[in-house]
């Protein structure tokens, strides 16, 4: 080969080596994208590692390793669908005599808690109405949810009569009474039965004579106890007008001037639905779960209050004049009373 030919061949080979191919340079292995100069910020190449074109402070545009994207997983929590269970209790009608064995009642409740048996004449709105009653008028036992449970009844302590049954859950929520009742009828040598005896009485009705009880006007009647013992009930000549909510009768000691003094000695609140809607009806009984012991010859005051306001009020009948010698009717303010005459009332003492 001539010298000229050798020069031509060498030139051709040199040009071939410099021609680009799909993998880089002819005759060479694949190479990564250049890590030097790039032309546009944000350009990306992906192989063999992701690179991104960035502006550098000193060297201008340069390829740099791209950040690896991360994935965030969000977990949603469904809201609780648990509903509060309203406590309820059931049992078959139970009649306990001396020959009954066992002397117990089988009850079933829908909650775990405490089941209560309370003598039927006792008014019940809260658990404390039961537990503050006299020991021979109530008892209790522990029950599991949805499990028939036999509750023993100490008939040597409990008085004869019928008993309503309630249950409370662990939060102290009181159920409605069971539809059926427990009756105790035991022959015994003693009976711890309460006898309410009428003591003071001003119960003659004077037609058309009524005074209103509302949130801004309490009413009261002073009286002098004739018997010594637990004052367990007062009966009052009241009725309701429109739709009030509740009314409370309380017993106070009487001060020197005959007005209410100090804190209430006993108190009972009734729902308005238990009060007559017309004047001149039967007297309304307020039974004190915890009676106050009164002393014969000592003066006390019956104070009646309500949170309701006009036109939803109560009215208490009174008799014009002073027909009852042991006290008088009083209208708010109780510390500076207006004397009406005598309000219609009765008091009962246990003897």
Digit-coded pLDDT (tens) for 300-317: 999 999 999 989 999 998
215 in the same domain as 109: no
Residues 286 and 213 in one domain: yes
Mean pLDDT of the chain: 82
Smallest CA-to-CA distance from 231 within 200, 261, 254, 186 is with: 200
Residue 165 counted as domain residue = yes
Q: Decide if 26 is inside a domain.
A: no
**Using one digit for the tens of pLDDT, what is the confidence trace for 169-188?**
988 899 999 999 999 988 76
Using 50, 70 and 90 to split pLDDT, how confident is the model at 259? confident
Cis peptide before 332 (omega within 30 of 0): no
Q: With the CA atoms of 259, 261, 265 and 268 taken in that order, what torsion angle do they form, in degrees rounded to the nearest 10?
A: 50
Q: How far is CA 229 from CA 123, 195, 221, 298, in A?
A: 21, 11, 20, 12
Domain identity same for 213 and 345: yes
Quickly tell me which residue has 């949805």 as its tokens: 146
Does 82 reside within a domain?
no
- Check if the beta carbon of residue 340 is closer than 8 Å to that of residue 329: yes
Rounded mean pLDDT of 90-116? 92
DSSP state of 189: S
User: Do 180 and 207 sit in the same domain of this protein?
Assistant: no
Q: Which domain holds residue 49?
A: 32-65
What is the count of structural domains for the chain? 3
Whether residue 200 sits in one domain with residue 58: no
Query: For 52-62, what is each residue's pLDDT tens digit?
Result: 888 887 778 88
Do 156 and 241 lie in one domain? The reply is no
- Average of pLDDT values for 15-26? 42
pLDDT exceeds 70 at position 80: no
Same domain, 209 and 290: yes
Please check whether residue 156 lies inside any domain of the structure.
Answer: yes
pLDDT value at residue 163: 94
- Note whether 176 and 200 are same-domain residues: no
Q: Are residues 259 and 290 located together in one domain of the fold? A: yes
pLDDT of residue 30: 40
Report how far residue 42's alpha carbon sits from residue 52's, in angstroms, rounded to the nearest whole number: 6
Does the pLDDT of residue 77 top 80, yes or no?
A: no
Residues 150 and 218 in one domain: no
CA distance 136 to 134: 6
Do 167 and 139 sit in the same domain of this protein? yes
Based on the domain organization, do 121 and 177 belong to the same domain? yes
Closest CA to 229 of 154, 147, 298: 298
Report if residue 25 sits inside a domain: no
pLDDT tier for residue 166 given thresholds of 50, 70 and 90: very high
Q: Is residue 38 part of a domain?
A: yes
- Do 226 and 200 touch, CB atoms closer than 8 A? yes
CA 54/CA 58 separation, integer angstroms: 12
Which among 178, 155, 163 is positioned nearest to 103, based on CA atoms?
155
Percent of the chain predicted with pLDDT > 90: 44
């Amino acid at each position: 080969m001539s010298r000229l030919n050798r020069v031509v061949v060498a030139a051709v080979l040199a040009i071939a080596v410099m021609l680009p191919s799909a993998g880089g340079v002819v005759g060479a292995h694949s190479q990564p994208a250049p890590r030097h100069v790039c032309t546009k910020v944000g350009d990306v190449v992906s192989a063999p590692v992701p690179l991104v074109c960035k502006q550098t402070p000193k060297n201008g545009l340069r390829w740099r390793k791209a950040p690896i994207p991360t994935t965030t997983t969000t977990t949603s929590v469904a809201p609780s669908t648990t509903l509060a269970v309203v406590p309820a209790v059931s049992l078959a009608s139970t009649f306990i005599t001396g020959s009954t064995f066992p002397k117990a009642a089988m009850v079933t409740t829908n909650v775990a808690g405490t089941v209560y048996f309370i003598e039927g004449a006792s008014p019940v709105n809260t658990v404390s109405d039961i537990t503050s009653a006299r020991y021979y008028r109530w008892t209790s036992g522990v029950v599991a949810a949805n499990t028939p449970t036999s509750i023993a009844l100490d008939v040597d302590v409990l008085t004869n009569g019928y008993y309503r049954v309630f249950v409370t859950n662990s939060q102290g929520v009181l159920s409605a009474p069971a539809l059926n009742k427990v009756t105790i009828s035991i022959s015994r040598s003693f009976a711890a039965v309460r006898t309410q005896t009428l003591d003071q009485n001003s119960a003659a009705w004077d037609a058309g004579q009524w005074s209103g009880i509302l949130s801004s006007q309490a009413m009261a009647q002073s009286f002098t106890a004739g018997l010594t013992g637990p004052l367990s009930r007062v009966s009052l000549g009241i009725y309701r007008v429109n739709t009030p909510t509740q009314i409370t009768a309380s017993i106070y000691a009487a001060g020197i001037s005959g007005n209410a003094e100090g804190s209430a000695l006993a108190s009972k609140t009734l729902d308005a639905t238990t009060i007559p809607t017309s004047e001149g009806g039967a007297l309304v009984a307020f039974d004190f779960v915890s009676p106050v012991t009164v002393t014969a010859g000592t003066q006390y005051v019956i104070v009646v209050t309500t949170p309701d306001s006009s036109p939803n009020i109560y009215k208490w009948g009174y008799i014009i004049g002073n027909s009852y010698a042991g006290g008088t009717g009083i209208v708010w303010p109780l510390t500076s009373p207006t004397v009406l005459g005598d309000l219609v009332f009765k008091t009962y003492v246990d003897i």
